[in-house]
Amino acid sequence: MLEAIILTVITAATPLLLAAIGELVVERSGVLNLGVEGMMVMGAVAGFALTNTTGSTLLGIAGGLVAGALVSLVFAFVTQTLVANQVASGLALTLFGLGLSGLLGESFVGTPGIKLPSLDIPGLSDLPFVGPILFGQDILVYVSFALVAFVSWMLFRTRAGLIIRAVGDNHGSAHALGYPVILVRYLTILFGGACAGLGGAYLSVAYTPLWVENMTSGRGWIALALVVFASWIPYRVAIGAYLFGLVSILQLHAQPLGLGVPSQFLSMLPYLVTILVLVIISLNRRTTRLNSPACLGRPFVPDR
């Protein structure tokens, strides 16, 4: 029973983790991309479509990654090259992504999907209890953890990460020192888009292998909240994602547990908890102020 719960928590948390870790990098460079929901759902539809037409889940996942990145490119162009308002542009990206994915996915509604297989490490996966949990996951789960480790190392131990953080802190100074602020932001936005696309692809290829319109159901927004919750620190994103995974699958397991709460209220839990978490985090102003990138959301126009 516990094993089943843990397994479902992992699958619920992974798409959140993938999308959030990508957005963390974007925000560290000073850009607020509210279009995560749109990028995720594009990744979901692309992942499903490609998996179904080629028969390969790996190609599907790759397709999701590419779809997310391509869509984020539009956002990057509008906000960095054209310097449009980031909040409105992010909303536009979400609405556009939701609409486009609905359009592209129309012919796939009702089609059964192919599930991303779990890794089967001979010997290790067969260990009781620990086996399936630690060694029997599909590849994206391991990728999500690898990404957290990679981002953490990259941001704080490499020069590239230092430049990203500098750009997010004071893009004027970074520009004065000769760093290509706009190029850096294009790259982080693409990275964020790719991660969101991966997260979306996970939903339609690993979580529940099917396509339903708007199947992300607000996970993109929760991912944005997770970045704030984590105070822009990578390993905390993982903690947050798993906490949310726990909350969101409660509705699945509440019935066998005999709780008399209507299913709609249980479904409300992730959203209500998100609000609660955001409030708690905003109470701790000092940590937020120290870690939140000072230029977050502010437009950058270099003078020449």
Q: Which of residues 189-218 bind another protein (CB under 8 A)?
A: 217-218
- Residue 181 tokens read as 């602020």
Work out which of 135, 207, 221, 244 binds another protein, going by CB under 8 A.
221
The Cα–Cα gap between 243 and 193 comes to 23
* Candidate segments 123-131, 144-152, 194-202, 293-301, binder of another protein by CB under 8 A: 293-301
CB 12 within 8 A of CB 166: no
Q: Which is nearer to another protein, 145 or 271 (CB)?
A: 271
Q: How far is the CB of 140 from another protein (least distance, A)?
A: 25
Q: Which is nearer to another protein, 56 or 282 (CB)?
A: 282
Q: How far is the CB of 121 from another protein (least distance, A)?
A: 38
Work out which of 4, 124, 146, 183 binds another protein, going by CB under 8 A.
183
* Candidate segments 50-58, 119-127, 201-209, 273-281, binder of another protein by CB under 8 A: 273-281
Q: Among 150, 19, 38, 189, which residue's Cα sits nearest to residue 100?
A: 38
Work out which of 117, 129, 282, 298 binds another protein, going by CB under 8 A.
282
Work out which of 70, 180, 212, 252 binds another protein, going by CB under 8 A.
180
Q: How far is the CB of 130 from another protein (least distance, A)?
A: 36
Q: How far is the CB of 241 from another protein (least distance, A)?
A: 16
Q: How far is CA 189 from CA 31, 75, 246, 269, in A?
A: 8, 8, 29, 30
The Cα–Cα gap between 32 and 277 comes to 19
Q: How far is the CB of 63 from another protein (least distance, A)?
A: 19
* Candidate segments 110-118, 120-128, 170-178, 236-244, binder of another protein by CB under 8 A: 170-178
Is residue 106 a contact residue for another protein (CB under 8 A)?
yes
Is residue 302 a contact residue for another protein (CB under 8 A)?
yes
Is residue 225 a contact residue for another protein (CB under 8 A)?
yes
- Which positions from 61 through 100 interact with another protein, judged by CB under 8 A? 74, 78, 80-85, 87-89, 91-93, 95-100
Q: How distant is the alpha carbon of residue 215 from its chain centre?
A: 14
58 CB-side CA count, 13 A:
4
Is residue 146 a contact residue for another protein (CB under 8 A)?
no
The Cα–Cα gap between 104 and 40 comes to 14
